[in-house]
Amino acid sequence: MKRYNDTLRFPALIGAVLICGTAEGMLLPLIASMLEEQGVPAIVNGAGTTALYIGMLVALPFMERPMQKLGYRTFLLVGLLLITLALFLFPLWFNLWFWFVLRLAVGIGDSMLHFAAQTWITIGSPHKKRGRNIAIYGLAFGLGFATGPLLVRLLAFGIAVPFLTAGFLCTLFLIPLVLLNNAFPDQTTRQGTRLSDSLRRYRKTTAMVWSGLTATFGYGFMEASLNNSFPVFALRNGLGMNGVAALLPAFVCGGLITQIPIGMLSDRLGRKKLLPILTLLGAVTFLVSALIPVRFSGFFFTFLAAGLLTGSLYSLSMGYVSDMLPRRLIPLGNIQMSLSYSIGCMAGPVVSNLLISVAKKGSLFFGIAGMLLIVSASVVMQQIGRSRKSCETVRVS
C-alpha cells in the first residue's frame, strides 16, 4: 500500500493543480465578461476580481501551523472542497456581493491547495529531480489555465453550465487525493510563537530574495491583467467572446511549450541569468502588442510569443528563490512567493482596467510591459549587489 501511494502521490498532486488551474482560468474571464455585458463599470469589475486574491492573501500567513497539524493530504482536500462548493453555488444568484464572497472562498481554497502541493512536491522530490518536478507542476497549472477559458464557450448552453462543469471536474479529482496516505511536514524545528519572531523571519527571507518576490508579483500582475482586463479591452474593441476564448489560451499554450525546456535550460545557464533576459524580451513583445492594430491575427502571434518567453515565469522564479534560500527557509519562501503573487493579481486588474478607462488604445499592454521591465531590472540589481557583497567578504577575509 505504501508503494502504491508513493507511485500515486505525484500524479494526484499534479492532477489537483491541473484542475485548480482550470477553475481559476475559467472564472476570471467568465465573470469579467458576464459583468461587462451587464454594463458593470470596468473599475468595479476589476475590483471584484481582487476577491479571489484577497482570499489567497489573507489565508497564506496562517497556513504553516494548520498544515503541520492536518498534514498535506487533508490540507489539499479542504482546499479543493472549498473551490468545488463555490463553483456549484455561483449559478444560484447573480449578485456582485454574493459572487465576491464565493471568489473569496475560491481564493482561500486555491491558496491552501497550492501551498500544500508546492511544499509536498518540493520537499518530497529527490534533489536531482526537483527542478524537473517543479517544471511539471508549473506545466500542470498552465495547462489547466489554458483549458479554463475554453469553458467560457459553454455559456451558449446556459449561465450555469460552465460553473457546474468545472464543479463536477473538481469532484472527480477529489477521489485520488482521498486514496493517498497522509503525510506531515517536518516539525523538528519549531519557530518562535511571538509576532516579533515571525516578522523577523519574514524580513530575513525578504532581504535574501526580494527580486524573486518581485518576479512572482510581476507574474501575478501580468496573468490577472490578461485574464480580467483583456476581455474588457477585447469586447470594447470588437474582438468578441470567441476572440477572448481563443487568444488567452494562445498565451498560456506558449508557456506550456517552453515550461520544461526553460526549466532545463535554467539548470544549465543559471536562473539568475535567464530570468532578466526572458522578462526583458517579454516586455518587448507586449510593447509590440500595444503598437499594432487591434486584430485577432496580430494579437494571436504576440500573445503566443509572450507566452513562450514569460509563461513559465512563476516556476522559474520559484527555482530562483529556492536557489538563494537555505533549505530551512524554503517553506517560508513559498509562502512569501504566494503572497507576492496574490498582491500582483490584485493590483493587475485594478491598474489595467484603470488604464483602459483613461486611455483605451494599447494602455493595457504598456502597463504589463512596464511591470516586466521592473522585474528584469530588479533581478539584475540584486545580483550586482550580491556580487559586490561577495567581493567585499573575500577582501576582508
At 80-100, the pLDDT tens digits run: 999 999 999 988 888 778 888
CATH number of 2-183+195-389: 1.20.1250.20
pLDDT higher than 90, residue 249: no
Among 103-112, 197-206, 223-232, which stretch is predicted with the lowest mean pLDDT?
A: 197-206
pLDDT at 25 (0 to 100):
83
Q: Give the Cβ contact number of residue 222 at 10 Å.
A: 29
pLDDT at 196 (0 to 100):
64
pLDDT at 236 (0 to 100):
81
pLDDT at 188 (0 to 100):
47
- Cell numbers describing residue 31: 465573470
pLDDT at 186 (0 to 100):
64
Q: How far apart are CA 36 and CA 15, in angstroms?
A: 32
pLDDT at 82 (0 to 100):
92
What is the average pLDDT score of the chain?
82
Nearest-10 crossing angle of helices 42-59, 195-224: 140
- Domain map (residue ranges) of the chain: 2-183+195-389
Coil, helix or strand for 293? coil
Among 216-220, 223-227, 241-245, which stretch is predicted with the lowest mean pLDDT?
A: 241-245
pLDDT (mean) for 220-236? 86
pTM (two decimals): 0.76
At 138-189, the pLDDT tens digits run: 888 878 877 888 888 888 888 888 999 999 999 988 888 888 888 777 654 4
The b/e string for 266-284 (b: 16+ C-beta within 10 A; e otherwise) is beeeebbebbbebbbbbbe
Nearest-10 crossing angle of helices 2-37, 127-147: 30
Please give the angle made by the CA atoms of 121, 127 and 131, to the nearest 5 degrees: 65
pLDDT at 4 (0 to 100):
46
